Amino acid sequence: MTNYELATLGGGCFWCVEAVYLRIDGVTAAVSGYAGGHTPNPDYESICGGATGHAEVVQITFDPAVASYRQILDLFWHAHDPTTLNRQGNDVGTQYRSVIFTHSDEQAEIARASRDAAQAEFSKPIVTEITPIPEFYPAEVYHQDYYSRSPHNPYCAVVITPKLKKLGLV
């Protein structure tokens, strides 16, 4: 029997993060959603203004025998810019912040060590939050597996496809 683990990460638009992780061996699921805010049961429209405090995140289910939590995080640092506060490219607002929501004390320790190691690769300070997971709310169905369903959408073609190519995932 496989003992799957969860990782919950925010690195800008959840479509981007989800598209990256769904291509990784050992990842069995990636669910776009919202976490880190103060409003129960948020929806996309309510989080877009930033008033709910939620970040767009992806909750990743993975097999640690195939992909370790550290490997999941090592990819995270390369899949977005962890040095920009509350933005990724043209996506601006607290909902696009860089964040790692941890599911255990062990994950928090690994996340901090991973961040500290990754810092050597960046000239500016990493601003990624590392905090225990609050409530996770799955996003609306139309946000799930968005890139796979809409690869020719202009946002996908201009933002996600080049990111996947840069990471060697296409």
Nearest to 86 by CA among 35, 147, 11: 11
Reported residue count of the chain is 170
Q: Is 13 a catalytic residue?
A: yes
DSSP secondary structure letters along 17-84: HHHHHTTSTTEEEEEEEEES-SSSS--HHHHHTSTT--EEEEEEEE-TTTS-HHHHHHHHHHHS-TTS
Instruction: State the sign of the Cα–Cα–Cα–Cα dihedral 65, 104, 12, 155.
Output: positive
Task: Supply the residues annotated as catalytic.
Answer: 13
